[in-house]
Amino acid sequence: MKNILYVILPLLLALLFPADTVAEGAVVLSEPERDVIVRTNDNDTLRISLVTCWPGPEIYELAGHEAIRITGPSFDQVWNYGIFDFNEPNFVGRFVAGKTDYKVVAYPFRWFLPEYISRGSRVEEQELLLTAEEKLRLLQALRENALPENATYRYNYVRNNCATRIVDMVDSASTRRIIYPDTLHYGTFRAAMRAYHRNYPWYQFGIDLVLGSGLDRPITRRQEMFIPVEMNKVFASARFAGNRGAVVGKRIVLNEGRSDAILPPTPWYLTPLAASILMAMLTIATIFVWKIQKRLWRWWLSTYFILCGLAGIVVTYLVFFSSHEATSPNLLILWLNPLQLIIGIGIWFRSMRWPAVAIAGIDVITLSLLLIVRGTHAQISNPAILIMILSGIGLAALYAIIGASESYYNIIGSTPDPSRSPSRQGAGSLSARRATHSRKKGGATKRERH
């Protein structure tokens, strides 16, 4: 259960960072280095290349990173669109609201490479076969982007990140139309994410919970370049229109990388699927205990619905108030919403019985609808989510049946309200009083005979 809580908020804080490098603050060019770039007019001496860094072990490294490297007669610089600052005021609040700002920063390439070498990630460079005019256009655009008044941009994981920004810059700088291969590898943003998150099932589980159907719309191969490694593959096959040759020339491996650069697969017993199976087993056991012993495991019902309610607070905020990509619409709000707290808490308090029963009855209907449409919504096809929804149907139906029963207080082992009339206290209580009356009457008759 602890892992489920970790998914909702801590992993949410990293939800949109996988493709970019994290930095504590902006790195800026020194005045001499900036002057060298500004004074460079001999474009034939410039060498411009894409630098792709393969995934690392951290959450923000799962899809790798992309940057532009420009080498001249007396400088070697990198333009990095993946800089953000955790120390910005209200960083967490802005992130949850979908208002995270990133920066593009230019700095010496010698500062860039060591991080990826130390973590063992593969780094590959692709030289762009641009004309002298196109190189100048790209250099001028990058310089303009890196100015303090232009450096900050509103980050979006799938549409405006370290890779997509560079693709747009290269497209706009080229005087020749670039034709990218149209062979799809994934087809949707979610499918691409799942491919790169396969060793991190809890992270993907969190994405499937909070990001809805917007991630499942069909996309093009060009849009798949939001993942830097995919961008590397696409550019390797890209060509200039009119049979004007390849876009990429030399491909140089700057660091071979190690097999341990990413973490090994999560053990099956620590995955969301294992947790969902455990929840299903507890749900089945709860139903059997009620069926056989007429006892209700309130602790498990309460735990399940409180977890759903807490997750629902996050999902509700993202659906109605956040501007994050694809947080709305999200059908899982029918399952994860703050109303579930009424069941989780109400099961312990007599005054909340009927509102809790009503919400449980509604849950049975809405969660059943989710099962019906699961084939058209990829997020519901996550096996762990599917099993958890089935558990929710079972628990909600159980509580709705028991809660509406006249013998409710006998089943949960609670003392009925003495102020209630016999007819409202239920058949169980009335039968008990009749039995007591019969015993008293029988005892009196025996004493008289004696």
pLDDT in tens, 119-142: 999 999 999 999 999 999 999 999
Residue 306 lies in a domain: yes
What's the mean pLDDT in 101-113?
93
Evaluate whether 189 touches 204 at the Cβ level (below 8 Å). no
Q: What would the two tokens of residue 444 be?
A: 């009196």
Q: Which domain CATH number covers 236?
A: 3.90.1720
Residue 345 lies in a domain: yes
**Of 261, 277, 293, at which residue does a domain stop?**
261
Are 386 and 252 found together in one domain?
Answer: no
Are 296 and 324 found together in one domain?
Answer: yes
Residue 409 lies in a domain: no
In this model, does residue 104 exceed pLDDT 70? yes
Q: What is the pLDDT of residue 157?
A: 84
Higher confidence at residue 32 or residue 440?
A: 440
DSSP 135-177: HHHHHHHHHHHHSTTTSEEE-BTTTBSHHHHHHHHHHHH-SSP
Are 132 and 241 found together in one domain?
Answer: yes
Query: Looking at 29-33, 151-155, 195-199, 254-258, which range is the least confident one?
Result: 29-33
In this model, does residue 41 exceed pLDDT 80? no
Q: What would the two tokens of residue 138 be?
A: 């790209």
Query: Looking at 9-13, 153-157, 377-381, 435-439, which range is the least confident one?
Result: 9-13
Q: What is the pLDDT of residue 411?
A: 63
Are 252 and 276 found together in one domain?
Answer: no
Confidence of residue 449 (pLDDT cuts 50, 70, 90): very low
Evaluate whether 134 touches 175 at the Cβ level (below 8 Å). yes
Residue 305 lies in a domain: yes
What's the mean pLDDT in 244-259?
93
Are 235 and 282 found together in one domain?
Answer: no
The SS3 of residue 11 is: coil
**Of 261, 290, 313, at which residue does a domain stop?**
261
Residue 4 lies in a domain: no
393: nearest Cα among 421, 434, 413, 363: 363
Phi-psi sector, 212: left (phi>0), alpha (psi -120 to 50), beta: beta
Q: What is the pLDDT of residue 44?
A: 62
Are 333 and 243 found together in one domain?
Answer: no
Are 245 and 315 found together in one domain?
Answer: no
Q: How far apart are CA 296 and CA 411, in angstroms?
A: 6
In this model, does residue 6 exceed pLDDT 50? no
Q: Which helix (H) or strand (E) holds 445?
A: helix 427-449
Q: Check residue 181 and report its DSSP letter.
A: P
Q: What is the pLDDT of residues 334-362, one digit of tens each?
A: 999 999 999 999 999 989 999 999 999 99
What's the mean pLDDT in 263-279?
94
Q: What is the pLDDT of residues 277-310, one digit of tens each?
A: 999 999 999 999 999 988 899 999 999 999 999 9
DSSP E strand stretches across 177-273:
178-179, 239-240, 248-255
Are 248 and 289 found together in one domain?
Answer: no
Residues spanned by the domain of 174? 20-184+220-261
Q: What would the two tokens of residue 149 be?
A: 């008044």
Q: What is the pLDDT of residue 100?
A: 79
Are 91 and 139 found together in one domain?
Answer: yes
Q: What is the pLDDT of residue 134?
A: 95
- 272-293 vs 201-210: helix axis angle to the nearest 10? 70
Evaluate whether 56 touches 255 at the Cβ level (below 8 Å). no
Q: What would the two tokens of residue 292 be?
A: 């056989």
CB atoms within 10 A of CB 137: 18
In this model, does residue 428 exceed pLDDT 60? no
**In 383-426, which residue ranges form alpha helices assigned H by DSSP?**
383-403, 408-412, 422-425
What's the mean pLDDT in 432-445?
49
Confidence of residue 426 (pLDDT cuts 50, 70, 90): very low
Rounded percentage of the chain residues whose pLDDT exceeds 70: 77
Are 122 and 254 found together in one domain?
Answer: yes
Confidence of residue 86 (pLDDT cuts 50, 70, 90): low
208: nearest Cα among 363, 14, 15, 339: 15
What's the mean pLDDT in 160-174?
95
Residue 211 lies in a domain: no
Evaluate whether 247 touches 238 at the Cβ level (below 8 Å). yes
Q: What is the pLDDT of residue 438?
A: 52
Q: What is the pLDDT of residues 374-394, one digit of tens each?
A: 888 888 989 999 999 999 999
Q: What is the pLDDT of residue 18?
A: 39
- Whole-number mean pLDDT of the chain? 83
Are 30 and 177 found together in one domain?
Answer: yes
Instruction: Tell me whether the omega of the peptide bond preceding residue 272 falls within 30 degrees of 0, making it cis.
Output: no
In this model, does residue 312 exceed pLDDT 60? yes
Q: How far apart are CA 4 and CA 9, in angstroms?
A: 10
Are 296 and 391 found together in one domain?
Answer: yes
Q: What is the pLDDT of residue 71?
A: 93
Dihedral sign from CA coordinates of 198, 203, 209, 213: negative
> In terms of C-beta density within 10 A (0-12 exposed, 13-18 middle, 19 or more buried), how is residue 73 classed?
exposed
Phi-psi sector, 243: left (phi>0), alpha (psi -120 to 50), beta: left
Residue 445 lies in a domain: no
Half-sphere exposure of residue 171: CA atoms within 13 angstroms, side-chain side: 12
Number of domains in the chain: 2
**Of 261, 292, 316, at which residue does a domain stop?**
261
Residue 200 lies in a domain: no
CB atoms within 10 A of CB 413: 10
Q: What is the pLDDT of residue 333?
A: 96
Displacement of CA 272 from its chain's centroid (Å): 13
